[in-house]
Structure 1
């Protein structure tokens, strides 16, 4: 029976991100010799997606199987999950639609990947389903798109540059670059953010239940940045990154410590960067207004009804055009601090080595995200012997730390580079 299962099932294939995921899976499945299917509520829409994907990719997809499944119908989800080895779940917001798919996959013994950036959902799934997923040898991995995969793999890549030493702290600086056509984002992302802000109070008790024991003390803490600051590392104005990166990496660090792959916790601080002070002030004002409106019912209704108004056109139904996507890219700069020798051989208290690296790639939401999700899935299928977890609700960083995920991303237009390596005895760099 196992050999008859599809390697991938793209659930929510007719959604905005799902369509781009179908394109990417079509390309990768051919090169990796994988079998796959699409799933969703409407046969007609799914057939249209396959026809359009055929035209975009030049692949003949007329024989790709279609599975009818609905998030509101648990039995249909379980029937879908039984037919695959890995479900790529593109149906959000995951707060509302994610849990039934996770549950169905665990019951069916099928691995589950999603592209959520919703900390409450991600951590709730770990709290509720980690034990059952372990028991059934099912891996449930959330946040497998942009921006968490570039963040997690960027940290891994930077850590590798310390070689025999040890990285203790790392900062990331995210920049998105839009082309002459500008850029817009589909409203699904905005909707997830609205509900995430509205329910932030859930996180504290959730984390207390999930992580009753505090992390060991950091060996060294970086000086705290101001809310708005100018970074010489990237020559841009920066604010704390409002996404889920920090919480995802925190879970990864806990797992790496528990499995002995690192000896001490790594401090991680993510930032979002823009070119001018005026832009960063505007961003802070937007986040303040957004947070205020998301905190009460009427405000949330207005945000969800008029996303293009509150975001000054950034978020709108239908998302970006093809030209906008083609003109957009991202860059993440990582500044890692640590030591050039193992603990037994070093002296002094402050880190004496700094490594600056960069991860770059195409448009983040609808090109990079399907690339990342698909390559996490391929790695999961091809390198199970390198993954210490046979089951459980884990992060991609925790599962793929010792795999070739960076090499796989490199082959698919996500690029890693070392900008500089400096230690206290090297004054020439």
Structure 2
């Protein structure tokens, strides 16, 4: 497709990721929390690589770093490629970072080949995707997408320091956050390359795949109430055991999700009360997280789960109550960008596979202003947010080749 594609350097991607991973708080994995000195040091290193790749670099008022590689037509809409540099606590070295470094790699190849595309390219290293410090995700991409609000500046970290205060300490003007926003007419599209954070690509023996969309999520808290009693004196048929009711419900949730794949549901937290070894559980409080790209299917399964809960509790003389804690809509990827990614995957001799992202990404916010596309790269055992997170040099190189081929297609065949 382009003479540039054969010059992607997987070893260079890997070495840069390793160098960036060394910039971390002391931890078992990588801990580089937004707006800390470690984050700022990592940002400076990435800035150097951007400049070496022929980009001009600026920092916006939410501390996003933007490297721009000018196009033949500098006033043409810009193609944005992005991901994040922050990590969770004791995280891995590839989550987010692979997307930023791969984007720099493709610009490096274009620059080394003295190649300019019709449209400018901007590589954005978003300042805060994980939301660890201020307990709110996507702060950086919200600013670029124009969905950031003034109230978010008053968010406080665990030390009581506000987001506005942190940004001011960095020499930024947080109350001018609007200047970070892109106008939809100025953006051609948004691409993100990311490790899969799941086992599908490894199971299918494929190095990369096409993301069809990001699942919407519904999150509930629930409570099942029975009656606590003596573990040695109340006959089993007469018990109102809340934990047995919760156990039956959890198995029914598993059955319903298997029946309605690829929907996923997780009961991730349970609190059993009174929590004594010699007392029948009188109350169970838990959480239900359910995700799907098909809102109608998700709602149907939620309805089935709650109907099952009512039936189980009526039969066991228990009560059930649930409250919605979070609701996010699914984010579909653009058909034209998916087609370009598929073409690039085929050009690299790989079988195309479509995947749903159950995890959130900065692309969710960017979808508010432009068309989005996501490329997943295989990661070992699907492990992520963990020091054991791993992606091979070969897979990273293939992923970057696919990214470059996709970029060339999108800038040659204007999507607008």
TM-score normalised per structure 1: 0.26
TM-score (norm 2): 0.26
